[in-house]
Structure 1
Amino acid sequence: MGAFEEQNAVHRRFDVAHAAPLLLDERGVVAAWTGDAGRLLGYGAAEAVGLAFAGLLVDTDAERFPELVGRCRSDGGWAGLLTARRRDGGALRVMARITPALEGGGPARCLVLLSETGGAPGWAMSRPVLEQMVAGSPVGIAVVDTDLRYVWSNEALTRFGGGSPDQRLGRRLRDVQPGLDAEGIEAQMRRVLASGEPVVGYEHLGRVRSAPRRETAHMMSFTRLDDDHGRPMGVYYTVADVTDRYRARCRLALLDRAGEQLGRTLDVTRTAQELAEVAVPAFADFVAVDLLDCVLRGAEASGPAETVPLRRAGQQSVHPEVPEAMVGVGEVASYLPDSPPVRALVSGRSWRKERLEPRDRRWATHLPVGREATFLQLGLHSVMIVPIRARGVTLGVATFFRRRRQEPFDEEDLDLAEDLVARAAVCMDNARRYTRERDAALVLQRNLLPHRLPELEAVEAAACYRPADELIGLGGDWYDLIPLSGARVALVVGEVPGHGIGAAAAMGRLRTAVRTLAALDLPPEEVLAHLDDLVSSTAWEEGMRPDAEGADAQAVGSCCVYVVYDPVDGRCSMAAAGHPAPALIGPDGAVTFVELPQGPTLGAGGPPFESVELDLVEGSTLALHTDGLLARGEQWAVDADRERLGRALGRRADSLEQRCRAVVEGLVPSRPHDDVALLMARTRRLGAHQVATWELAHDPAVVADARRTAVRQLAEWGLDELASTTELVVSELVTNAVRYTGGPIRLRLIRERSLVCEVFDAGATAPHLRHPRANDEGGRGLLLVSQFTQRWGTRFVPDGKILWAEQALTDAGP
């Protein structure tokens, strides 16, 4: 065999395209030169033959060339990168393969194959090398023809099931892997065959024959193979198992979804149901959440966990109507003493069982009729029970089930379940704590608000209160109806900023202060002025303390409107401290809003409070409300809000109570953003037969006449049983006016639900109750009045004062 036949044989053996061959003798001198070598390095054959090959290399490669020749002879060949020196002096990086050229009995020569690195597809990509690469690849590789039948596959594909490469030949994917979505995969192959565009990163989920009980994920890529004429020959595809990555991604997605959906409301039961809904169907087929009964009430367990009843708080199933549930939501979930749920509840440790057995019939006791099915009868085969714990407190247990068609829960699933439950537990505990605080605030506020409005002759009243949404918290809105002297009545509505127990406590203090100031019979503007001073002073004292977050400090910025109505003459006076003005509904149903000067909020400081007076027609209705009844919006929307309120107030109803509730229900959602209080009062007038007035001369002799006049009036009213006490009251009050004041005196008797005796005089000083000693001759008048009447007092008016005393009526008469 000649040198060049040998070279061509080697070339074919190594399958190196576009390589420049040359032959070296035993000394490393060029013995044969080719045109390809000349074109690559620029030397002619006459110049190159006879040169040492090391002289054609740069210095560093020339120095090590003898070593390379030695390795070639000892190892049977060498391949690597060299830098050759071109005839023009330039350096050229080449890929070189040196292999012995064997000749029988001849000298040991070497064949050198050179190819330029730039743009060369590779110098060692012979078929054996390629087969070694694809056969030993850890990635599954296969080639199918245009009919999608296997023509070649590597051993790595065997790990996915479906048989060895020989068993796959001539078969379709659906024949070797019936558990996969073969139609979807083959659709990708047909798409690649038709378009020539490769498909990369196609993810498929299914069960392969090598793991029939476990759902696996595969990442696949498809590339079309063409012949020398560009015609499709088939599809080359790769497949890798990405199940672990897929499951990790699913876990992260589940936890992200849990973070979005859990705890959206501060409601324990709703959060428990959200936990069940998040886990089904992505993680489990049926989930039950059982919480300690005390937790649902916002409390903590007061005894051993195994003795505290559990109640089903949430459940979810892949099947409609949740057929797996032994109990319904809200029902008591009773478990056997040594059952896994009780053990998990007591120990605080999770429990998992991959396969439920026939002896695991059921754990619950006292099952309703028709719900006695066992786990296996329900198709439940794998279970995990995770205790719900937050901040060291056990709240309940969450149970996760899977059915026959899913793989059993493993340790990774248990870790995920514990993470999921831990997130839900914090939300449940927050909701439990909020429920406890909200219930406490609600009880406090309801106890501080009037339990029922008093029945008065002056007005017919009704009130409606609606607390804020649970995410906002209970606020400090309040209302009151306060009887005053002289058959008058005070109507009050106010609002404390903030929410929670602090706001409720601040509201209670303000309401108490208003009732105390109302007992002094002060005008509305003076009541608000005293209230403003009280809030400012107490807030300042609270601010001097290091823990200045009390109810007094919270009362700063409170709003209030105070209205006084007199049923004798129909006069009404009112003042406001940063509060919406009352609405006035006429007897004909027309609605107007009082033009009331707005004073500053309480404790904020500012100009003095002003009041207005109105004459109300009998049957008019006053509507006092907090700003929660109006929609919150920009300033320009106030008129629109008033228009809506006016329409609601103008609608008639069978009773004032129904009218009041209809207004709130029509304007306020079931869970408003702010508390809402509405107080409605329909005014009445006292008739002439209920009021008697006499002008008296400033003379001591008039006292006897006043007594006789009063007794006659009582006889006309049928109140003879009060005659003796009334004589005493009239005598003492008129005598006090004659003795200590000058000017006119007026006596007035008012008969409503009580008998009121009033004496007006022009004096500017109030009498004081004295406690005389046994030998004192005077000072017993007011003491006797206080002991024989229900209550008494002094009320100042612009031109003097009024001393009054009130007696309860045992029978109001006709």
Structure 2
Amino acid sequence: MAEREERAGQGAPEASAPPEGREAPEGRGPAGRQAVAVFDDSGLVVVWTRAAERLLGVHRAAILGRPVTELLTLVDLEKLTEGVTVGPVGEGDPPGRWGLWPAGPLPGGIRSGVLDAVFTQSPVGLHVLDADLNVLRINSAAGGMRGVAEGEIVGRPFSEVYSRFGAGSLEDALREVLASGVPIFDQRVAGYPREDPEREHIYTVSVFRLEDDLGRPLGLVASAVDVTARDRARDRLAVLHRVHARMGLRLDAVQCARELVRAVVPTFADVAHVALTTAELHSPDTDTTWGDTALRCVAGWPPEADEAPEVGAALDMPYGDAHGPAPYVQESHAAGPTLVVPLTLRGVLLGVAHFSRPRRPDPFEDDDLRLAADLAAHTAVCVDNARRYEHDHAVALALKGNLARTGRTGRSAMETAHRYLPTGLGGGAWFDVIPLSGNRVALAVGHIAGIGPDAMAAMVQLRSAVQVLSALDLDPHDLLARLDDTTRRLGEERVAAGTGGPLTAQCVYAVHDPVTETCAIARAGHQTVLVGHSDGSWRSGLLEETTALGGEGPPFAADEIPVPPGSTLVLLSGRADPDDPALAGLRARLAGAVPPRALSASDLHDLPLDQAAVLVARTRSLDADDVACWEVTPELTAVSEARRWAVRTVEEWGLTETAFAVELIVSELVTNAIRHGTPPIHLRIIRNPADHTVTCEISDAGTAAPHLRRARAADEGGRGIFISGELSDRWGVRWSEQGKTVWTETSYMP
């Protein structure tokens, strides 16, 4: 069609003899004469020269691109002075083209000469019908279309002759043309001709009325063109386009199979189903070879078809040494012709597609096999992409599930609840509840930018970095500053390895101290931080938004706020509107003194966040009887006093078995503080009944930290920290604006 349009736009040159020594131009006949008009294999006029205009009296604009049969209504036969010859054009032209040449002056019988040429040489099927729709005459092309001789058609009613082509619906259209004189063009008719009874043929029919000199109807002329090959090629392209347009939008192997069967029915097949290998469904890393695995049907269409197996049914492998990976046609009396096509990629069998035609006898042709191979190749690529995605997705979800598991906070001064919703392959969010010294608790919520396993790995690294840095007892803004350095270094490694661009992340880090009833918070990015008070009021917008980790900008925002017992902290991994109904409902629930552990899944699940981590904490304070403080005089004589005071304190708590360990620890810590620290010096002992631990803390204004070292036999000192570490479960040092604090934590039996 594109070639015809190009010719129609460019026109055709005047007929003339070519220069000597050159080949004949397009449209030359066997004798070397150039045709004045050319018709393609569909009977459309593709060349109409000025010589043709003069010869037949029809302007090129009226006939170019139209069926040749319209010449019967456009040519005034009475005015013709020259005959015409119709025949195939030269061998250099595309096959199936016919040309028209001048045949010289007409001595008489003009009408019969033209009609004889058209009816004996035209490639378009022509039928002449009388006013009663009986067939008067057909040309050889029309007889060939039906596979019958002219004698079996002429004289019989049109509806009887063409009953195999649904003539009943066409008969009404013929009578309308006969009555009105308005022609019809390119009406589609389908049927099974006698010469090819197992293959449906499609024809386009155009009908014109024949009139006498007074305009009275005499009958009809109908032209028919077999467009079966063209239409089937168009249908195949349409099926291929639908598959490419729909498949792969979702990275789901089963969904890919569903899109395939829906795209091919009913154009290409009546029934279709796809089975994937069990290894593909359950072990995507397994390479499946021919005949060594079972198949399971995952998609079929239409759903009510009896010829297709039920979805989920196990199927036998239809391939063996006889066929291998090549498509083949499987004849079946019940399901009709069936085309079996493997879904393979890089020599690995992923599944099998079946296309059958139980509703029609049309066999699968070579072009159908080529189309099926193209469909299978595209489907295999999409299925392989889906299985790789699902594998990575499963790994990511498993890892995220592990990240979502939090142990006990280890603190009696705080109760927490959380919601974690990882979706897709994105880096997503994480949260942590980290016990610190002195019964303090650190809360961390973060979110990584990017998608894929690399982002997931970066998230794990940052979460681990937060846990390691929290052990240093850093202030929140100092911790984020060091985490920012880690994020930049990880981003540089990603860029150098070519696995991604610069890395950015967001994080909010808060430390609650139940003794001072305060909470120090720092934020990098735009996480939402809400603080609820015991009177039911809420405070938001505590910290201004700052640059993300790994980005460029000012230092991270930080603040310290009072959190009396009963206060509620809500940390979200992203920006949320405080007035959102779901968030407002959560605030209302928490304001009603509902403990975090009593929150339902829906209370947290409906929050307006994706890849979300939500952390809710209700603060408590330590009982005053569980905290004891002593101001130490900066003299060595104060060591014995501190020892006696510590023993008396733990014995009053009923921890007699722990008194000896506490006595030695306090003795060593106080001695070190007096010798190496800077006044003022304070000793504090904290009992935690929930964790069954006793914490000893010695604070001074100095900045020099003690170090654990191995003392030699002759050394008089250097054993204090070693002894304290041996008698306690954990020990460490933390700094503040007032100096440092050395602490130990010792467990006791309840």
**TM-score by shorter chain over 0.5:** yes
Within-5 A mapping of 1:340-489: 340-343=318-321, 347-353=324-330, 355-356=331-332, 376=333, 379-448=334-403, 450=405, 452=407, 454-469=409-424, 473-489=425-441
1:372-771 alignment, distance < 5 Å:
376=333, 379-448=334-403, 450=405, 452=407, 454-469=409-424, 473-537=425-489, 539-540=491-492, 545=496, 547-549=497-499, 554-555=502-503, 557-587=504-534, 590-627=537-574, 630=576, 639=577, 643-644=580-581, 646-650=583-587, 652=589, 656=596, 659=599, 661-667=601-607, 675-752=611-688, 753=691, 754-771=693-710
Report the alpha carbon displacement of residue 123 of structure 1 after superposing the two structures with TM: 3.1
Rounded Cα–Cα distance in structure 2 between residues aligned with 1:782 and 1:236: 114
**What pairs up with 1:77-476 in 2 under 5 angstroms?**
120-121=79-80, 123-124=82-83, 125-161=110-146, 164-169=149-154, 171-297=156-282, 299-302=284-287, 304-317=289-302, 320=304, 322-329=305-312, 331-335=313-317, 340-343=318-321, 347-353=324-330, 355-356=331-332, 376=333, 379-448=334-403, 450=405, 452=407, 454-469=409-424, 473-476=425-428
Distance (Å, rounded) in 2 between the aligned partners of 1:623 and 1:769: 39
Q: Is the 8 A contact 1:213 1:407 kept in 2?
A: yes
Structure 1-normalised TM-score? 0.74
Deviation at 1:715, TM superposition (A): 2.9
- State the distance in 2 between where 1:592 and 1:120 align: 99
Give 1:698 shift: 3.1
Q: CA contact under 8 A between 1:792 and 1:803: conserved in structure 2?
A: yes
Deviation at 1:238, TM superposition (A): 0.5
Contact 1:502 1:554 in 2 (8 A): no
- Report Cα offsets for 1:521-557 as digits up to 9, x if no partner: 11111111122233334545666x4x3546xx643x2
Q: State the shift of 1:506 in Å.
A: 1.0
Structure 1, 272-281 or 735-744: larger mean CA deviation: 735-744
Equivalent residue letter for 1:746: H
Which string of whole-angstrom CA distances, capped at 9 and with x for unpartnered residues, describes residues 145-167 of structure 1?
44433333334322343854444
Instruction: Give distance in 2, aligned partners of 1:451 and 1:342.
Output: 53
Deviates more, 1:690-699 or 1:507-516: 690-699
Whole-angstrom CA distance in 1 between matches of 2:566 and 2:686: 20
Deviation at 1:169, TM superposition (A): 4.5
Once the two structures are overlaid, the 10-residue window that deviates more, 215-224 or 645-654, is 645-654
Q: Shift in Å at residue 784 of structure 1?
A: 0.6
- Residues 120, 233 of structure 1: CA spacing in aligned structure 2 closer, same or farther, 3 A cutoff? closer
Q: State the AA in 2 paired with 1:123.
A: E
The Cα shift of 1:477 comes to 2.2
Deviation of 1:239 (Å):
0.6
Q: Decide whether the 8 Å contact of 2:586 with 2:604 is kept in 1.
A: no
Q: Using the aligned pairs only, state the percent identity.
A: 39
Q: Deviations over 1:705-745 (max 9, x none)?
A: 33333233323333222111111112211222223334333
State whether residues 695 and 747 of structure 1, in contact with CA within 8 Å, keep that contact through their aligned partners in structure 2.
Answer: yes
Deviation at 1:241, TM superposition (A): 1.0
Letter in 2 for 1:693: C
Aligned-residue offset at 1:194: 4.3
- Asked if the contact 2:148–2:194 (Cα under 8 Å) also holds between the matched residues in 1, the reply is no
> In 2, are the aligned partners of 1:694 and 1:748 still within 8 Å (CA)?
yes
Residue aligned with 1:257, SS: helix
* Matches of 1:685 and 1:119, distance apart in 2: 116
**Aligned twin of 2:86:** none
3-state DSSP class of the match of 2:319? helix
Unaligned runs of 5+ in 1: 1-79, 82-92, 97-116, 357-375, 631-638
In the alignment, is the contact (CA less than 8 A) between 2:506 and 2:524 conserved in 1?
A: yes
Read off the aligned partner of 1:656 and give its amino acid letter: P
For the 8 Å contact 2:260–2:379, the answer to whether it is kept is yes
* Distance of aligned partners of 1:221 and 1:304 in 2 relative to their CA distance in 1, 3 Å threshold: closer
CA contact (8 A) 2:421 2:612 kept: yes
Cα deviations by residue, 1:13-50 (Å, 9 ceiling, x for unpaired): xxxxxxxxxxxxxxxxxxxxxxxxxxxxxxxxxxxxxx
Deviations 1:727-775, CA, capped at 9 Å, x for gaps: 1112211222223334333222222212211122222222222210122
CA contact (8 A) 1:772 1:780 kept: yes
C-alpha contact 1:298 1:435 (8 A) present in aligned 2: no
User: Is contact 2:595-2:618 (8 Å) kept?
Assistant: no
* Cα distance change of structure 1 residues 694 and 437 upon mapping to structure 2, 3 Å threshold: same
Contact 2:409-2:441 within 8 A present in 1 as well: no
Distance (Å, rounded) in 2 between the aligned partners of 1:174 and 1:586? 90
Cα pair distance change 1:686/1:204, threshold 3 Å: farther
Letter in 1 for 2:630: W
Change (3 A) 1:433 1:742: closer
Q: 1:135 to 1:558 in 2, by over 3 A?
A: same
SS of 2:466's partner is helix
Cα displacement string for residues 678-707 of structure 1 (whole angstroms, at most 9, x for unaligned residues): 222222222223322233333433333333
Q: How many residues align?
A: 650
Q: Output the amino acid matched with 1:341.
A: Y
- C-alpha distance in structure 1 between counterparts of 2:532 and 2:155, whole Å: 92
Contact 1:484 1:521 in 2 (8 A): yes
- From 719, 722, 729, the equivalent of 1:780 is 719
Cα distance in structure 2, aligned partners of 1:416 and 1:567: 72
Q: Structure 1 residue 782: deviation in Å?
A: 0.9
Secondary structure of 1:598's match?
coil
* Amino acid in structure 2 at the alignment position of 1:688: A
Change (3 A) 1:407 1:440: same
- Structure 1 residues 585, 217: CA separation in 2 closer, same or farther (over 3 Å shift)? farther
In structure 2, the partner of 1:37 is none
Report the residue type matching 2:143 in the other structure: T
* Residue aligned with 1:134, SS: helix
Please report the TM-score for the alignment, with normalisation by the length of structure 2.
0.80
RMSD (CA atoms): 3.1
In structure 1, distance between residues paired with 2:453 and 2:677: 51
Take 2:254 and 2:602, find their aligned partners in 1: how far apart are those partners? 30
Q: Closer, same or farther in 2 for the Cα pair 1:178/1:586, shift >3 Å?
A: farther
Contact 2:274/2:351 (CA < 8 Å) preserved in 1? yes
Give the distance between the partners of 1:797 and 1:781, measured in 2 at CA.
23
